Structures are given as C-alpha cells and as structure tokens.
A and B are shown apart, each in its own frame.
Chain A
C-alpha cells in the first residue's frame, strides 16, 4: 500500500540530526529567549541602562551638552551642605508619610462603605474611580484654580459662612501650600487604594461575619479579627505602590506650585528636575535622584517582609 512506499523515505528524514536551526526553533530555552527578546530589549535599553547611567552621572560633573568627567563624590558632598536639598528630603518624607497614612485610612474606610449593600452601588464605584482616570496634571490644574489666592471658591464659601474675613493665600503661604499639595495627592490616591482594597474585601466570605455575629462580636472586633488579617496581603502591596508613587511624585507639585513658595513644597523629584534640566547641572540632578534609591529600596523591603509574614500566617508552603 501507499504507506509502505512512503515509510522508508519518512524514516530517513526523521533520522536527520537536529541542526542548530532546529534547536533554535524548538528548544524550550531558546524559544523562551526569542519570546522574551522584545520586552527585554526595551527594559534593558531604556530602564536598566539608564538606571546605571544615572548612578554614574551622579559621580560626574556632566552638564547639558557636555559629557562629564568623574569627580568622585563631590556632588554628594555638595548636596550634604545644601540646605535646600535637606529641605526637599524633609518635604518628601513629610509628604509621603502624611499622604500615605491618610490615603490608607480614607481608602480603607471608603472601601468598607462601598462594600455595603446599597442602591446604585456600581455607579458609585465607577464615580469614585474618576479622579484616578483623569490625568494628574489636569486635575492638579483644577486644584490650582480652586486654591487660587484671589478667586478661590473655598475662600469665598468660608467668607460667606462667616468663618474667615480675608482670602486664604493657599499656595502662597508655606504651611498652606504644603497642606494643599498633600490634600491634592490624597484626593488623587484614595480611589486607587479604595478600589483595590474593595476587590480584596469582596473575596472575604460573608459566612465568617455571620459566624462572628452569632458569637456576639462587635463590628470593631469583626474588622480587627476578620477583615484586617485577611486583607493584610493586599494592603501590603497597595501601600507599597502608594508609598513609592507618592515618594517619587513630580507632576502634581510641578503643576500646582513648582516647588514654591520659598522651596516649601520642593520634593526630591522636582528639585532634581530643576537642577538638572532647568539649571543644566545633570550631575547634581542625578545625584539627587540617586539619593532616592535607598529610600525606595527600604520601602520595597518592608512590604516584601510584610508579604512573607502573611504567607507564614496563612500556613502556605515556604515556596
């Protein structure tokens, strides 16, 4: 039959040695390499390489349009004696700490509220997320207008309520400016925290609460001993992201105050932009942004160990 005639020839082709080309096409590791190639190319050329280059630049006296020479730790020594740099570090820490704490508290509260049964729940949830959708700069401009020194709607309302007699100089006064940018950051970050925590809340089985109610637990006890422990993993991840993005925030500040008044709202990111791009001192700017790296590593480590702990709590294997 036809099979018999074909058989020898096919056997011959199958006996053929696997060529290098075959290996490149079928070997699991080589295939993996080809599939990873585009993503890796982007991440290496535009992320890993600049990250290293940034650290290198911080040890040089590079300026815009001039390749720098190695000058050791001079940039860092210069920054060590620079009051504005330390002010920006303090501002960044204050901004991150206050904004993250409030975002977490309000976000968790909002998530608990949205988890209740109520009419128009889906619509409300969608509305809550809008501040997160709209580009930060554009909503920051709206805040700029809301906090205007002469035509602020807040000053107007408070004056008509008889609480104040003069306009508040929101973005011109150092304390008020800090409060305003922190408020705008909280406003922008709460939806993210709330919606992700809400997703975590929805995975908690209602029967746990029913059992707790039968045992006579108060709502605080239910929150403390059921909701909070079950939410810990997602809280760790969400707060890591929240802290990271607050710490390295740039656009909100740049659109609202550009670091003013008298550098009171300068964060490390805005200061490095001002020194490097506007001032042209690439080396010094790179040193400022490299100084952020230890803080970021610290934040990542904390959340990492937080995650480890909950795996152990839930009795999962140590894989």
Chain B
C-alpha cells in the first residue's frame, strides 16, 4: 500500500542527503508518513502515558471529591466533580498527626541523605583518585552492597537497633538508611569524579595543597551537578523507604508518611477513601515538585549509576 510513496520519499532522501545543507538532526523521521506515525507512535505512546498517569489523577480527584459523590457511582459521573471540597485535606492537616509525619519524613530523609553524601564523597574520591591498595576491590564490594536488599536485612537490623536502644527513634532510620544510599551515591560520584581532569589536581599538589584542600576547593565545586543528582535521588529513596520505617518505629507520632498512612487511616470507615487519598497526594507532592525542578539531574542520577 505504501510502496509507491515510500520509494519516492527514499529518492528525495538520497537527493537531500547529497546536498551540503542536509539537516542531520532530523534523522530519518521523514521516511514515515503522518498516518503511519499516528498508528505506530502517538497511539501506543498516549495509551501508555495515560495508564501511567491515571492513578495520580484518580488519587487527586478522590482527595477533593465530596463524600456523597465518592460512593454514589450511579448519580454522578465518577471521572469528574463539579464541586470539589478541601474537607479531606483540611481534616488531614489539622485533625491528625499528618504534619508530624511529614516533618518526621523530611527530618529523616535530610539527615540520612546528608550523612550518606558526606561519606560517599570521601569514599568515591579515595577510590577514584587516591587509588590506595585494594581500591578496585573496595569499589566492587560497594557495588555488591547496593545489591543487598532491605528485605533481607530488616530482621537482624531490628535486633541491632533494639540492642543499641534506638528502637522507635528517628535516629534508627537516619543511621540505617545510609546503607541503601551510600553504595548508590558512591558509584554515582565515582563516575563524576572520573570526568574531572587529573591535571587540575596535579597542579594543586605541586602548589602544596593537601588532599583535603584539593577535595574541598577543586573537586567538589566541579562535581556540583553530580552532588545535586545524588542528593535528590537519595532524598527520594529515603522518602520512599518503607520496610525499615515499618519495623523500627512504633508510636504513632514518630512514624513517617508512608507507614503512617498505611497503618493509621485504614479503619473500617467506608468514607476513609477521601482522607486516604488526600494523605497519599500530600505525601507525593513534595517529591513531585522537587522532581519538576530537577528533572535532568534526576535522569542523570538514574542512568549514571546504571551506566558505570
């Protein structure tokens, strides 16, 4: 069916390729006709994107729907509401421990992230640039540490946390989360440090700088994008962590958002859905906003650690 047009376009491609003004950025997309692109590209893409985003739409819609519309699916069209209410969100923020939980999550995430970044910067610099005896082996071991999942560790860690008297304290999470974060951010930062020219450090060494000064004054300023990537990715991982928080925290005001929502809002009430979804929405928004500002850093963090 498309035999003839394709052939003529091919001819055009050959012709335009021979002219010096050929625009290579366009690639070969002109080989495809518009209807063909709709079927092979736009339709599947939009279906996938709609499926990926629908749960969030549903979450947000449920959070602002009045209770009567929430459960009466016959009278109202469930996909939209004309009289949104902030009742659920108000109840969440002023009649529950939700602000406490948000604060706990933030506190734990920032604390664990800062600790991990400091440890990772030092470790990554030592592995890449000091190249002490056995540096490669240690690098490999750290990568292996990344592959040890929390689901294996939470039972023995619970006993360790209990022994140290950290049970039910945010400090338990701040000290255990770095085991997830350090391997990841060390590998990410190793990749960044490798791209910094060695000559800069040699100059500084000749000028009499110590290793510590080199790290603070030369390497770190040049690795700022890497540090931002590592920071926001670690922050997201902390926010997302569940099994440690579920195991190590007991009392209601000490919990983090994911654990608290799963445990505290799930009562027998049929109308719980509104506040449950409002809680999920408010718990996700900080991360989504952070993500919106740092998309590129985020993507480079995700792909950087994998590429190494």
A residues near B, CB below 8 A? Answer: 28-29, 31-33, 35-40, 42-43, 45-51, 53-54, 57, 62, 106, 109-110, 113-114, 116-118, 122, 124-139, 141-143, 145-146, 148, 151, 153, 156, 187, 190-192, 195-196, 199-200, 206, 209-210, 213, 234, 237-238, 240-241, 244-245, 247-251, 254-255, 268-269, 272-273, 276-277, 282, 285-286, 289-290, 292-293, 296, 300
Interface string of B255-298 (1 = CB under 8 A from A): 00111011000000000010011011001100110011001001
CA distance A131 to B257 in the complex (A): 17
B residues near A, CB below 8 A? Answer: 24, 26-29, 31, 41-42, 44-45, 48-49, 51-53, 55-56, 58-59, 62, 70-71, 73, 78-79, 115-116, 118-120, 122-123, 125-127, 130-133, 135, 138, 142, 144-145, 147-160, 175-176, 178-179, 182-183, 186, 211, 236, 239-240, 242-243, 246-247, 257-259, 261-262, 273, 276-277, 279-280, 283-284, 287-288, 291-292, 295, 298-299, 302-303, 306-307
In order of increasing CB-CB distance, the 3 nearest A-B pairs are: A32-B132, A35-B126, A248-B149
Question: Which residues of the partner chain A approach B45 to less than 8 Å between Cβ atoms?
Answer: 110, 113-114, 124
Minimum CB–CB distance from B248 to chain A (whole Å) comes to 10
The answer on a CB contact under 8 Å between A289 and B133 is no
Question: Which residues of the partner chain A approach B156 to less than 8 Å between Cβ atoms?
Answer: 50-51, 53-54, 57, 286
Question: Which residues of the partner chain B approach A40 to less than 8 Å between Cβ atoms?
Answer: 123
Complex partner residue of A244 from B26, B55, B149, CB under 8 angstroms: B149
The answer on a CB contact under 8 Å between B31 and A134 is no
Minimum CB–CB distance from A181 to chain B (whole Å) comes to 14
Known interface pairs A35-B122, A142-B277, A187-B52; A42-B182 also in contact (CB < 8 Å) = yes
Minimum CB–CB distance from B269 to chain A (whole Å) comes to 13
The answer on a CB contact under 8 Å between B236 and A133 is yes
The answer on a CB contact under 8 Å between B149 and A245 is yes
Known interface pairs A46-B157, A117-B29; A137-B147 also in contact (CB < 8 Å) = no
- A contacts with B: majority SS: helix
The answer on a CB contact under 8 Å between A290 and B152 is yes
Minimum CB–CB distance from A294 to chain B (whole Å) comes to 12
The answer on a CB contact under 8 Å between A192 and B211 is no
Complex partner residue of A269 from B151, B160, B175, B186, CB under 8 angstroms: B151
Known interface pairs A51-B153, A106-B48; A142-B55 also in contact (CB < 8 Å) = yes
Known interface pairs A31-B130, A133-B287, A196-B306; A117-B26 also in contact (CB < 8 Å) = yes
B265 and chain A: residue at smallest CB distance: A141
Complex partner residue of B145 from A43, A128, A300, CB under 8 angstroms: A43
The answer on a CB contact under 8 Å between A250 and B243 is yes
CA distance A39 to B149 in the complex (A): 18
The answer on a CB contact under 8 Å between B55 and A153 is no
CA distance A125 to B45 in the complex (A): 11
The answer on a CB contact under 8 Å between A272 and B56 is no
CA distance A57 to B120 in the complex (A): 30
Question: Which residues of the partner chain A approach B24 to less than 8 Å between Cβ atoms?
Answer: 206
CA distance A289 to B150 in the complex (A): 10
The answer on a CB contact under 8 Å between B178 and A46 is yes
CA distance A45 to B119 in the complex (A): 14
The answer on a CB contact under 8 Å between A248 and B155 is no
The answer on a CB contact under 8 Å between A137 and B130 is no
Question: Which residues of the partner chain B approach A290 to less than 8 Å between Cβ atoms?
Answer: 152
Complex partner residue of A272 from B44, B155, B182, B280, CB under 8 angstroms: B155
Minimum CB–CB distance from A136 to chain B (whole Å) comes to 6
The answer on a CB contact under 8 Å between A134 and B56 is yes
A203 and chain B: residue at smallest CB distance: B307
Minimum CB–CB distance from B202 to chain A (whole Å) comes to 15
Question: Which residues of the partner chain B approach A33 to less than 8 Å between Cβ atoms?
Answer: 132
CA distance A250 to B154 in the complex (A): 11
Known interface pairs A35-B126, A137-B258, A292-B152; A151-B158 also in contact (CB < 8 Å) = no
The answer on a CB contact under 8 Å between A141 and B261 is yes
Complex partner residue of B119 from A38, A141, A269, CB under 8 angstroms: A38
Known interface pairs A191-B52, A199-B303; A32-B155 also in contact (CB < 8 Å) = no
